[in-house]
Structure 1
Amino acid sequence: MDDHRAPAHGLRHRRSRLAGFAALGLAGAPATHGAARSRRAPGIAITIDDFDLSNAMLMSGQDRDAAIRATLKRHKIKAAGFVAGKYIDDRLSLPMLSAWSNHGHMLGNHSFSHRYFSGENPDGLMADIARCEQLLSSGPGFRKLFRFPGLAEGNDAAGCDRMRALLKQHGYANAYVTIDTSDWYIDNRLKARLKADPRASVVAYKRFYLDHIWGACFYDGVAQSLFGHSIDHTILLHHRLTLFLDDLLAMFRARGWRLIDAHAAFASSPFALEPDTLPAGQSLLWSLARADGRFGTPLRYPGEDGDYEAPKMDAAGL
């Protein structure tokens, strides 16, 4: 399912990416503080959403999943997968999820229905989470981490607070994203091109994808401004563009980032924070920056979306 963000509901935040952070410098630039922690290169953990095996592109869903796991093994890292229950079937998905667990990867909950959460009916969302948990809880890789579909955590304080209370009551932690992306939109455009011309080259799409992901790493500059140092990040990807996953991980290594296991990122201190902002959600760093109040210029809302990438892809003929 496409990870479309909800409409802005009148909010006036579709401006520059984070104009208030323009002075932070290049994305991913190392911190220059004196402490050893400040000089530590940023870490990046791979987190993959949805697990829709029907969404094949140049390969079957099974082959795509095998390629993901093979790439992670080659780079010696353990990822986290966030499963939307509606995509799970006994024939394909359950053996695949077992393979994830057996190879040491984490599996978290992405709800059964993958519906946008506006803040209304948090008890209904909790029931939907419990329904998905039934599909996952028997595997050794399952962890009580919940990722909100579309990173939408509610538009009103009462609904947001109730949802947070319910998650804690049921033993769940929020599986925050720190580096948000619109990889799903790039995939949609590439699929449309391949449907029209199965022999079309994917090279330009790979270049655009890698540039898009690296551009999203401006969030590490936000982390440096908020905390005084780089952090261990979780990046939002989807079970789609695995043609380019090896290139993506190689890019991070080449640019000095550390590839880390997902459990290490989720155990780091920023992931225990609960930003106080409405609408709640988006990248954890987006929310913390908005709640901080020091930066002045409003952040665009949503933080990332296909609407921002469409004109760039149109201009590039993609």
Structure 2
Amino acid sequence: MAVHPDRRTLLAGLATSGLVAGCARPDRGRAAATPGIAVTIDDFDLSDTPLLSGSERDAAILAALRRHRVKAAGFVAGKYVDATLAPRILTRWSDEGHILGNHSFSHRYFSGQDPAGLMADILRCEPLLSRYAGFRRLFRFPYLAEGKTATGRDAMRALLDRHRYRNAPVTIDTSDWCIDNRLKARLAVDPRSAIAPYRRFYLDHVWERATFYDGLARSLFGHSIDHTILLHHRLTTGLFLDDMLAMFRARGWRLVDAETAFASSTLALKPDTLPAGQSLIWSLAKADGRFAGQLRYPGEDGDYEAPRMDARGL
């Protein structure tokens, strides 16, 4: 399986400038006392992993969603869609009522320099997904990178509108891929290694990041929102998604369908920040200007988690 590139490396050298957001106010109809959370899963690299094959991993993910009676959104990179396994899995996702969205064909980082090229790559992926009833014209930017120049950012927004695509933003970003890489590396050395410490670290990490981004949302809007969390189709999701959803429920969060979350006008906001991207809540907080001391850049990265995992021997 290809290793997820380090997000800090990909974004190195980009200067962040916080500008005033010229956006409408978010939904007032969803001024919930408790936050909601919708599951979104990126990439759909269906390679086999230690403990679970690609098919077994997907079955575990769908079983967790079914158990908690919640519908997710999967954002599929076309380069992972093969002629055998992918059609069976994408059919199953569609038949069970989950959304299938576009993650581009090549999964390249978008700097803003070639909007037309990215749009062509999105359209190249579309025929691989449009045959499924669950397909929606929702696009998730690879690496949550939406352009480092205003010209490139705005040109990409216009192209998405022209082709009737909506951006599918993340509000709760995570570094689940970093934890996954560590777990797979350990299992490659010793397949009998205990996974419980990785489960604990994973759940702690997800909870910490969720409460951070929800805290920003409460400060921005005066209330919680229905969040979209970023996960990847990886071993950690197959092993721990059920535990994660149970944790949020036990701690008072509502599980919401991805389609419900994406219908919110809050997720249609377009903050005027550069570089564009990251978590939508991160970008709105950056544009607001009051939260500079709380906003690291990039918002999530393996470099933040590696020392803490090292300290735990993970």
In the superposition, the TM-score normalised over structure 1's length comes to: 0.90
Q: Which residue in 2 is equivalent to 1:113?
A: 106
1:169 Cα shift? 0.4
Letter aligned with residue 286 of structure 1: W
Question: Does the alignment pair 1:177 with 2:170?
Answer: yes
Q: What is the distance in 2 between the residues matched to 1:36 and 1:272?
A: 15
| 2-structure distance, mates of 1:249, 1:57 | 23
Aligned residues: 297
After superposition, the Cα gap between the structure-2 partners of 1:211 and 1:124, relative to the gap in structure 1 and judged at 3 Å, is same
SS at match of 1:167: helix
**Aligned pair partner of 1:233 in 227, 231, 239:** 227
Measure how far apart 1:138 and its partner are. Answer: 1.1
Per-residue deviation, 1:12: 7.8
SS of 1:207's equivalent? helix
Aligned partner letter, 1:299:
L
Counterpart Cα distance in 1 of 2:156 and 2:16: 26
Contact map agreement 2:170 2:280 (CA 8 A) in 1: yes
C-alpha contact (below 8 Å) 2:64/2:242 kept by paired residues:
yes
**1:288/1:3 Cα in 2 relative to 1: closer, same or farther (>3 Å)?**
farther
- Answering whether residue 280 of structure 2 is matched by residue 276 of structure 1, we say no
Could you say what the CA RMSD is over the residues aligned between the two structures, in angstroms? 1.6
Secondary structure of the equivalent of 2:75?
strand
1:209 maps to 202
1:36 deviates by 9.5
Is the 2:50–2:191 Cα contact (8 Å) retained in structure 1?
Answer: no
SS at match of 1:271: helix
Match in the other structure for 1:265: 261
Cα distance between partner residues in 2 of 1:123 and 1:36: 37
Output the TM-score relative to the length of structure 2.
0.91
Structure 2 gap segments, 5+ residues each: 18-27
Q: Hey, what does 1:139 align to over in structure 2?
A: 132
Match of 2:164, SS state, is coil
1 CA distance for matches of 2:268 and 2:37? Answer: 18
* Pair 1:73-2:66 in alignment: yes
> Unaligned regions of 5+ residues in structure 1, if any?
14-34
**1:170 partner amino acid:** H
Identity, % of aligned positions: 69
Q: d(CA) in 2 for partners of 1:51 and 1:295?
A: 34
Q: Which residue of 2 aligns with 1:313?
A: 309
Matches within 5 A, 1:1-318: 1=2, 2=4, 4-5=6-7, 6-9=10-13, 11=15, 38=31, 40-217=33-210, 218-240=212-234, 241=236, 242-297=238-293, 299-318=295-314
2: CA distance, partners of 1:138 / 1:271: 26
* 2:214 partner amino acid: D
Give how far 1:296 is off.
4.0
SS of residue paired to 2:218: helix
